[in-house]
Homo-oligomer: A and B are copies of this chain.
Amino acid sequence: MSVTTPQGFRAAGVAAGLKSTGAKDVALVVNDGPRFDSASVFTANRCKANPVLWSQEAVKDGTIRAVVLNSGGANCYTGPEGFQTTHAVAERVAEHLGFGPIDVVVCSTGLIGLTNDRGQVLAGVDAAYAALAGDGGGTQAAEAIMTTDSVSKQVVVEGAGWSIGGMAKGAGMLAPQLATMLVVLTTDAVVPAADLDTALRQATAVSFDRLDSDGCMSTNDTVTVLASGASGITPSLPDFADALTRACTDLAMQLLRDAEGADHEIAITVLNAATEAEAVEVGRSVARSNLFKAAVFGNDPNWGRVLASIGTTSAQFDPADLDVAMNGVWVCRQSTPHADPSEVDLKPREVSVTIDLKAGSERATVWTNDLTHAYVHENSAYSS
């Protein structure tokens, strides 16, 4: 159940003292081959952290042999000195493993504006290298990347003679084009880098990219997939992309359920849109309405706030002919009250909102959380 489930991977997670709690804070995932194909996607935020600036360059040739990750400091807005730390970490990993630093993706998470002690991080890399293991190493690594996460997140999807393993961290700032979210995926299938890239973009477009916990986009988001080819099996691209999508969706739902302070997971499904992009635009507008999200926290099936959000978009629809259901009850038909909202029970954690735009035949689901006292508390008391 981890990144070391597929053949050809070792991993480790160790405590290097970056977290004041003494918890594990440096993780290393190594691809032992025989192939080293990789693909990555990064935050769309223009103010990117140093590890993202490094890794964006490192991934360009489609070859990555290791991913090193630290929690306890995002190395973001730390200037040239922070970039040098990222570079030194990549070099140390490469020295241990006998390849070049340009084959190492570096990820960091934690406080922004905090410069980690370089010696501490490098000592962590040394310890992680020494602890690399196939069995159990993946789970140690998944624990080492947690910040405000309450549980570690892992997944395995089995193919025909090959598999995909994955781990993720993230518990807020889960927004468009990713989140304070680090994800490493591994596979022992034979998948050339170009196909990996195609599959990864397909998978993230309908999973992580449709998760919008609080509308805030992080500076460090990285999703990397590594393919060792160790199974010797070459799946068809559709089969592989489908499995990768399932792995990413599973991890995305784990992130959603662990969002900071949330009481509800909300799936907003937009039906009969003119285009899929418009369905996503409408879903995201509702996912970003603080008024709607606070109403869900208060168990109030407030469809008026849903319509008010839809009205802010440029999607095609007739403002006088919108239908909205909450948990399957059509509380609004033709933009007017329909079923009695008291029929909607919002006490269960899982909430569904269905919007019928009557403008076409495309659809999309966007996921978000409610806005709670605990969210305000966690994000007013904890810096990130």
Binding site for B on A (CB under 8 A): 44-48, 74, 76-79, 111-113, 115, 172-173, 214-219, 288-291, 294-295, 297-298, 300, 302-305, 307-313, 319-320, 322, 332, 334-337, 371-373, 375-377, 379-381, 383-384
Q: 9 closest Cβ contacts across the A-B interface?
A: A298-B380, A112-B304, A47-B311, A294-B379, A79-B336, A45-B311, A46-B311, A294-B380, A297-B380
Closest residue of B by beta carbon distance from A297: B380
What chain B residues lie within 8 Å of A295 (beta carbons)? 379-380, 383
A216 touching B376 by the CB < 8 A rule?
A: no
In this complex, the member of A334, A336, A372 whose beta carbon has the largest number of chain B beta carbons within 10 angstroms is A336
A337 partner residues in chain B, CB cutoff 8 A: 77-78, 113, 115
Question: Quick check: B376 and A294 within 8 Å, CB to CB?
Answer: yes
A374 to chain B, nearest CB (A): 9
Separation of A305 and B309 alpha carbons in the complex (Å): 25
Residues from chain B with Cβ under 8 Å of A294 in the complex: 375-376, 379-380
Which residues of chain B have C-beta atoms less than 8 A from A319's C-beta?
46-48
* A36 nearest CB across to chain B (Å): 30
Given A216-B290, A312-B45, A380-B297: A79 in contact with B334 (beta carbons within 8 A): yes
- Least CB distance from A358 to B in Å reads 14
Taken together as a complex, chains A and B put the C-alpha atoms of A218 and B307 apart, in Å, by 10
How far, in angstroms, from A76 to B307 measured CA to CA in the complex? 10
In the bound complex, CA of A219 to CA of B319 (Å):
11
* B215 close to A290 (CB less than 8 A): yes
| Most chain B CB inside 10 Å of its own CB: which residue of A77, A214, A219, A298 | A77
**Pairs across A and B, CB under 8 Å, 8 listed:** A47-B311, A77-B304, A77-B307, A172-B291, A216-B308, A219-B304, A290-B379, A300-B380
Q: Chain B's nearest CB lies how many Å from the CB of A140?
A: 29
Which of chain B's residues has its CB closest to A300's CB?
A: B383
Decide: B336 and A304 in contact? CB cutoff 8 A: no
Known: A113-B304, A384-B291. A77 touches B332 (CB 8 A): yes
Residues of B within 8 A of A48 (CB): 311, 319
